[in-house]
Amino acid sequence: MKRVRVRFAPSPTGYLHVGNARTALFNWLFARQQDGVFILRVEDTDVERSTAEYDRKLMEDLRWLGLDWDEGPDVGGEYGPYRQSQRLDLYRAHAEKLLKEDKAYPCFCSPEELEQERQKALDAGQTPVYSGKCRGISREKSTRRVASGEKAAIRLRTPSEGIISFHDLVRGTLQFDLSLIGDPILVRSNGLPAYNYAVVVDDFLMAITHVIRGEDHIQNTPRQILTFQALGFDPPVFAHLSMVMGKDNTRLSKRHGATAVDQFDKDGILPSALFNYLVLLGWASPDGREVLTKDELIGLFRLEKVSRSSAIFDYDKLAWINRQHIKTLPSHTKAEYAFPHLKTAGLLPEEMTPLHWEWLAKAVDALVEKADRFAELPALFSILFDFFLLNMDEDAKEILKESCSLEVIRSFSDKIARVENFDYQVFGLMTKEIKEDTGCKGKDLYHPLRVALTAKASGLELDKFIPVVEEGAKLAFPRLIKSCAQRVSETLAFIDR
Q: Which residues are catalytic?
A: 254
Q: Out of 9, 206, 245, 484, name the contact with ligand GLU by CB under 6 A.
A: 9
DSSP H helical ranges for 280-330:
294-300, 315-327
Q: Is 373 in the site for ligand GLU (CB under 6 A)?
A: no
- Strand residues in 80-200 grouped as ranges (E): 104-107, 153-156, 163-168, 172-177, 185-187
CB of 43 to ligand GLU, least distance (A): 4
Stretch that binds ligand GLU, among 3-11, 173-181, 270-278, 362-370 (CB under 6 A): 3-11
CB of 230 to ligand GLU, least distance (A): 18
Q: Is 438 in the site for ligand GLU (CB under 6 A)?
A: no
Q: In which region does residue 384 sit, left (phi positive, over 0), alpha (psi from -120 to 50) or beta (all else)?
A: alpha
Closer by beta carbon to ligand GLU, 213 or else 356: 213
- Say which residues have a Cβ less than 8 Å from residue 349's Cβ, sequence separation at least 6: 356, 476, 477, 478
Q: Is 19 in the site for ligand GLU (CB under 6 A)?
A: no
Q: Out of 17, 40, 43, 405, name the contact with ligand GLU by CB under 6 A.
A: 43
- Say which residues have a Cβ less than 8 Å from residue 421's Cβ, sequence separation at least 6: none
Q: Is 11 in the site for ligand GLU (CB under 6 A)?
A: yes
**Which residues ranging from 198 to 227 are in contact with ligand GLU (CB under 6 A)?**
199, 213, 217
DSSP β-ladder status, 185-187 and 311-312: unpaired
Q: Is 42 in the site for ligand GLU (CB under 6 A)?
A: no
Closer by beta carbon to ligand GLU, 239 or else 383: 239
Q: 42: which strand partners?
A: 83
* CA separation, residue 448 to residues 23, 392, 434, 454, 456 (Å): 55, 13, 12, 10, 10
- How far apart, in whole angstroms, are the C-alpha atoms of residue 244 and residue 258? 13
Total chain residues near ligand GLU (CB under 6 A):
7
Closer by beta carbon to ligand GLU, 11 or else 413: 11
Closer by beta carbon to ligand GLU, 9 or else 469: 9
Stretch that binds ligand GLU, among 5-13, 98-106, 241-249, 469-477 (CB under 6 A): 5-13
- How far apart, in whole angstroms, are the C-alpha atoms of residue 361 and residue 377? 13
Q: Is 44 in the site for ligand GLU (CB under 6 A)?
A: no
Residues interacting with ligand GLU, by CB under 6 A? Answer: 9-11, 43, 199, 213, 217
